[in-house]
Amino acid sequence: MVNTIDFAVSDLIAGYVTHFDAENDVFGLKTSDGREFHCALSPMTYAKLVQNLDEAYSDATGIMRSMLVPGRYLFTYGIFYPDSPKFEAKQIVFVGRKADDYIFEKQNWWIDQVHSLANFYMKAQFGDDEIDYRNYRTTLSLSGVRSTVNFRQETDTISRLVYGFATAYMMTGEEKFLEAAEKGTEYLREHMRFVDLDEGIVYWYHGIDVQGEREHKVFASEFGDDYDAIPAYEQIYALAGPIQTYRVTGDPRIMSDTELTIKLFNDFFLDKSEHGGYFSHLDPVTLDPRSESLGRNKGTKNWNSVGDHAPAYLINLWLATGKQEYADMLEYTFDTIAKRFPDYEHSPFVQERFFEDWAHDTTWGWQQNRAVVGHNLKIA
């Protein structure tokens, strides 16, 4: 027996106005894929202009009907009722004052947004004091309040924050963001980096537990999916912040760490057999991707181990150096994605988990045969 929806459902619709029926207070809204909805206004409907971070609320309720002109793009949040073919609009968000105006396309929109975000994290992590990553917290409350008890600092999240600060400096030119990026990079090097002189490689700790002035290094991952292993994506994202900082400073120590981390990828994660690609996990003692200790991650490959190199650090590394070897690595990862990941006969989404021979692993943990939308957008 097929279930029918006999209850109210709220949703958000984005599209272009097709018409406005002033007599019945209804407007048409067509989505980008061609579906049209009849949206009803009510005495409770309110409207506003889209606002950037740190911008004041800009009400448009009093003039919203005059703004419902054909061709205008907008968002509306409301309710589908089972006994009505109409969508009852509760809120309308206009993306500009004029019908063909898109506020977020103005030159300063994203600069202002990044500036606001960087200021928030500066204030939340360091307050008004000197920038000191000993005070960094992996988790903040929504209002930016840090934990005051013992805490863990994770390498990949610090690196992402450093990436944000370096990018904020590149977009705004504010020196405090560069200072935060440089100090964060130095903190990663001093506390999260391990140089293996025997193998001539660098790998990065999962994180450190900070207890007052003491710290305890955590080598293998303690995330549930990757427990007691070295996952490729943690090593990949350890480079994200330092490489973006390198684009500004050209610090040769960052380049040395990067070259030795890439040697880790090429010596241990890279599958040198006819199958190719990068393994997703290594045994933390033997650095063997086929170790029995890895359990369900033994000899596996996934989206992260192949697809994360480019967006995390590799594109920026090539931009910073122009070296052919990094262009070749980009090409190799892109070719691998194009060859191995699409599965259009069965799904519009890419496959994300594989065995060593690229057979699809559709039984792994939480993912099973599910797609991650963000990974597909990265490919696009």
Q: Give me the tens of pLDDT residue by residue for the chain, a chain 380 residues long.
A: 556 668 899 999 999 999 999 999 999 999 999 999 999 999 999 999 999 999 999 999 999 999 999 999 999 999 999 989 999 999 999 999 999 999 999 999 999 999 999 999 999 999 999 999 998 998 888 888 887 766 889 999 999 999 999 999 999 999 999 999 999 999 999 999 999 999 999 999 999 988 877 888 888 887 778 888 999 999 999 999 999 999 999 999 999 999 999 999 999 999 999 999 999 999 999 999 999 999 999 999 999 999 999 999 999 999 999 999 999 999 999 999 999 999 898 899 999 999 999 999 999 888 988 888 888 888 87
Q: Is residue 4 part of a domain?
A: no
pLDDT score recorded for residue 27: 98
pLDDT score recorded for residue 2: 56
167 in the same domain as 87: no
180 in the same domain as 323: yes
346 in the same domain as 268: yes
Q: Which domain holds residue 42?
A: 9-104
Q: Which among 3, 79, 96, 10 has a CA at the least distance from the CA of 39?
A: 79
Q: Is residue 1 part of a domain?
A: no
**Number of domains present in the structure of the chain:** 2
d(CA 205, CA 157) in angstroms, rounded, equals 12
The pTM score is 0.90
3-class secondary structure, 208: strand
Q: Is residue 3 part of a domain?
A: no
**Helix (H) or strand (E) run with residue 88 in it:** strand 87-94
pLDDT score recorded for residue 3: 60
28 in the same domain as 173: no
Domain harbouring 40, CATH code: 2.40.50.140
pLDDT score recorded for residue 228: 86
133 in the same domain as 82: no
Give the tens place of pLDDT for each residue, 213-238: 788 888 888 777 888 899 999 999 99
Q: Which among 356, 239, 231, 235 has a CA at the least distance from the CA of 283?
A: 231
139 in the same domain as 20: no
118 in the same domain as 43: no
d(CA 195, CA 140) in angstroms, rounded, equals 31
Q: Is residue 221 part of a domain?
A: yes
- Do residues 147 and 229 make contact, with C-beta atoms less than 8 angstroms apart? no
pLDDT score recorded for residue 73: 98
Domain harbouring 139, CATH code: 1.50.10.10
Q: Which among 80, 99, 96 has a CA at the least distance from the CA of 20?
A: 99
Q: Is residue 159 part of a domain?
A: yes
Out of 89, 104, 119, a domain closes at 104
63 in the same domain as 173: no
Token pair for residue 332?
A: 């190799």
3-class secondary structure, 48: strand
235 in the same domain as 145: yes
Q: Concatenated DSSP letters for 4-30?
A: ---S-EEEEEEEEEEEEETTTTEEEEE
